[in-house]
Amino acid sequence: MMVAYVVLDGFDLGVGILHPFLARTEEEKQLMMRSIGPVWDGNEVWLLAAGGTLYFAFPLLYASAFSGFYLALMIVLWLLIMRGISIELRMQMEIGVWRAFFDGLFFLSSLLLAVFFGAALANVIRGVPLGADGYFFLPLWTNWRVGPDPGILDWYTVIGGVVALVALALHGALYLVVKTEGGLDQRSRAAARVLWIALLALTVVSLPATVFARPDTLANYQRYPFALAVPAVVLLALGGIWYFSRRSDDRRAFACSCAYLSVMLVGAAIGLYPRLLPSSTDASRDITIQKALSGPHTLHVGLAWWAFGMCLALMYFVIVYRMFKGKVSLEGGGYGH
Amino acid sequence: MSVTALLLHRIHFAFTITFHYLFPQLTMGLALLIVVLKTIAIRYKDDRYNQAARFWSKLFAINFVIGVVTGIPMEFQFGTNWSQFARYTGGVIGQPLAMEGVFSFFLESAFLGLFLFGEKRLSVGMHWASAFLVFVGSWISGFFIIVTNAWMQHPVAYRVLPNGAYEVTSFWGLLTNPWGLLQYAHNMSGAVITGSFVMCAVGAFYVLENQFAEYGKVFLRVGVIVGLISCVTQIFPTGDLHGRYVAKHQPAAVAGMEGLFNSQRGAGIVLMGQPNEEKQTIDNPLVVNDVLSFLIYGTTHGEVTGLDQFPRDQWPEPLPLLFFSYHIMAGLGTYFVLLMAVAGFLLWRGKLFRTRWALWPLLLSFPLPYIANTAGWMTAEIGRQPWVVYGLIRTSDGYSKYVSAGNGLFTLLGFMGIYAVLSILFIVLVYRIIQKGPEVTGTGTASTGTSMTVA
């Protein structure tokens, strides 16, 4: 579910990051908003549903991580609020200042959210100072070092944030290439090329940084050699983005970007397995799947309705994306918007 | 120190949930009313009702957005501010919360998009269906939240695991918690009251102002009829049954609500007064004899348990707030029935649209259901104290120990600031929509449907 969230909400975050750079006219700004208008809300629901699922399936992890990352999470909540209203309220008034304000808010909140999500993942990889009772509390930053007394932001997690920022911006650019025409389409292509080079460089930097921050990430890859397919797929997906973009096969390029994001997450999960939230101080305090899992009956029941609900959700998504497929234009009825 | 942190976490949750619920109650009420409008439009081929539905869907959309963005923090606050509670109860109440996301939010977000953006692309029937599914989604969402709350009020179908956490034993039992079903009926009826009062107020405004009066009459007709039905069901049967159930399972809460310090046979009901905790009396009481016993037991001789039967550390607190919340809720509920009965009578006689003395209270009363719904929730939540899960986990054991009072206050102030801005934006936008009125070519060109007026 986290993968679904990142792949789906990722592109509308990316559109937000690119918004001030690619759109030159009011019409183009509207087009960019329209391309995500009917779907961003549904994409964000994945985050909520994932949060809820985390809550019932791994209550300990939910309680520990959410209270420990308290400040960062609250800031993420504020950003989600600001982003939501800037998308929805922008069109409500035909006043230049009003729209410019929400454009700015949309850009800033999208950008910071991407950074925070990347940093969050990096925090989980690096580990947190878990106490004996399974709790911790991290300030936003301390000395910016990956040490025994880390903050939510240090040099490693900032790299994670920047990787996420560039990856999601690229994801958004590729989405725009699929959904738009003319000047916007051309500029999105150009942006995608620049972002692709940046992402390649960052991906290459982030791998040794991860090994430095958490040396035992490689253990699982040594134990299960088939997991080495993960980095291979990461590189393949990156190559695919370049290859298909050059040939103007836009859908495949976007699909490769989806694959890249998914496999980066899967790769992190494999590196951590069976840990969900490792301790940075004492390995015996790691929150593992075993420790955090809910009771058997809860999981049994949960899995049943969850599978059913996911099928329904997928069905809705297919319907909505089919309804709004193709390039966006400014024609067609807005109902109440 | 710890008291401050506990109090701040309570205020943090109370503030964010109270502000949040101002919006979903209108969402759920209006969702039903929009379906009603669209149904009438199709059934009687009356385009005024279609136009009315378009108008309300604009208000609905803004209201929905604020509801969504203020709702996201709620789901996360269990973990951030109430981690100890979350850790032990996740196996039970995490389920309905996750189900809300999976079954309701996906449905709502998917079909709201179709409903708002797709009128031209969809057939009449399909567009009606998308409105209907938005309604269903929002009401399912309410159901799962009530199931969650009902378990905290009246835990059923659970067992304790070796590590001290709770686990659900019967999923069906959790969903059909009798407390939850009663609370759901009472709550949804309350949401419909909010929706219909808002619709009546806009209608009364248009009629009194003699602008868009045709639509004003449509709003009043639908609003008064739906309002009358929901105001009656709010008291009987839902309020009555729910009250008796609370009296049976949370007697301390009822004693606190009624300000009954000493157990009494033939207990009277206090209509007004101020609870005095030191002297354990009600100051300036206005009492009707025997009524409380009658309401709970159906006989004036029943003995109602007073607070004296409970140790002091099991009294709901803050007690005066519980007393006032309950009395505000019940008092307003009574007023709603009277107002709607009068308006309904005038409507039936065909005089409502000319009776200015009845239109004025219909215009001015729209804030009151918000107050009544909030007061009702405060009654439920304070009545449950000092427990976060009734009889199982104390509120003082549930909060996040490592989130200091300073951090709690920091984010509380942050939320207050953001929500203040949201309120202003909301009021400005709603004011503009009402001012422009329903005679807008909502299906016109351009993405800016709201910007095209026909004066």
Secondary structure (DSSP) of A10-23:
HHHHHHHHHHHHH-
pLDDT score recorded for residue B311: 92
pLDDT score recorded for residue A228: 80
Q: How far apart, in Å, are the Cα atoms of A221 and each of A225, A226, B129?
A: 6, 8, 51
Which of B68, B168, B403 lies closest to A297 in CB terms?
B168
Across the interface, whether the CB atoms of B75 and A80 are under 8 A apart is answered no
Across the interface, whether the CB atoms of B425 and A135 are under 8 A apart is answered no
Q: Pinpoint the alpha helices (H) of B81-212.
A: 83-99, 106-117, 124-153, 171-175, 178-209
Residues of B in contact with A85 (CB under 8 A): 65-66, 69, 422, 425
User: For B136-151, what is each residue's pLDDT tens digit?
Assistant: 999 999 999 999 999 9
pLDDT score recorded for residue A1: 66
Question: For strand B281-288 and strand B269-276, is the pairing parallel, antiparallel, or unpaired?
Answer: antiparallel
pLDDT score recorded for residue B315: 92
- Going from N- to C-terminal start, the domains of chain A cover 2-294
Structure tokens at A308: 């059913």
- Going from N- to C-terminal start, the domains of chain B cover 2-249+319-451
Across the interface, whether the CB atoms of B171 and A301 are under 8 A apart is answered yes
User: For A137-178, what is each residue's pLDDT tens digit?
Assistant: 888 888 777 777 788 888 888 888 898 898 888 888 888 888
Q: What is the mean pLDDT of residues A86-111?
A: 88
Q: Are A70 and B80 in contact (CB under 8 A)?
A: yes
Task: Please name the amino acid found at residue B391.
Answer: G
Q: Which residue has the higher pLDDT, B425 or A326?
A: B425
Which of A30, A47, A77, A300 is most worth mutating to test chain B (most B CB atoms within 10 A of its CB)? A77
Nearest to A114 by CA among A12, A236, A244: A12
DSSP state of B103: I
What is the SS3 string spanning A189-243?
A: HHHHHHHHHHHHHHHHHHHHHHHHHCCCHHHHHHHCHHHHHHHHHHHHHHHHHHH
Q: What is the mean pLDDT of residues B56-74?
A: 92
Q: Which residue has the higher pLDDT, A16 or B261?
A: B261
- Residue written as token pair 């009438």: B40
Which of B95, B397, B428 is most worth mutating to test chain A (most A CB atoms within 10 A of its CB)? B95
Dmax over CA atoms of chain A, in Å, equals: 61
User: Strand, helix or coil at B254?
Assistant: helix
Which of A58, A64, A316 lies closest to B106 in CB terms?
A316
Report whether pLDDT(B99) > 80.
Answer: yes
Task: Please name the amino acid found at residue B148.
Answer: T
Across the interface, whether the CB atoms of A45 and B401 are under 8 A apart is answered no
pLDDT score recorded for residue A215: 79
Report whether pLDDT(A337) > 70.
Answer: no
pLDDT score recorded for residue B16: 96
User: Strand, helix or coil at A293?
Assistant: coil
Annotate B221-245 with DSSP letters as a single string. Answer: HHHHHHHHHHHHHIIIIIIHHHHHH
User: For A203-258, what is each residue's pLDDT tens digit?
Assistant: 888 888 888 887 777 788 888 887 788 888 888 888 888 888 888 888 888 888 88
The distance of A80 to chain B (nearest Cα, Å) reads 7
Across the interface, whether the CB atoms of B449 and A85 are under 8 A apart is answered no
pLDDT score recorded for residue A330: 64
B83 at interface of A, judged by CB pairs closer than 8 A? yes
Residues of B in contact with A134 (CB under 8 A): 87
Which of B89, B99, B447 lies closest to A91 in CB terms?
B447
Report whether pLDDT(A324) > 50.
Answer: yes
Percent of chain A whose predicted confidence (pLDDT) is above 70: 94
Nearest to B117 by CA among A154, A36, A311: A36
pLDDT band, very low/low/confident/very high, at A335 (cuts 50, 70, 90): very low
Residues of A in contact with B91 (CB under 8 A): 56, 59, 294-295, 298
User: Chain B 142-161, CB below 8 Å of chain A: which residues?
Assistant: 161
Q: What is the mean pLDDT of residues B178-198?
A: 96
pLDDT band, very low/low/confident/very high, at B62 (cuts 50, 70, 90): very high
pLDDT score recorded for residue B3: 56
Percent of chain B whose predicted confidence (pLDDT) is above 90: 65
A2-294: what fold?
Formate dehydrogenase/DMSO reductase fold (1.20.1630)
pLDDT band, very low/low/confident/very high, at A331 (cuts 50, 70, 90): low
pLDDT score recorded for residue B455: 27
Dmax over CA atoms of chain B, in Å, equals: 69
pLDDT score recorded for residue B233: 92
Report whether pLDDT(A40) > 60.
Answer: yes
The distance of A304 to chain B (nearest Cα, Å) reads 11
User: Strand, helix or coil at B286?
Assistant: strand
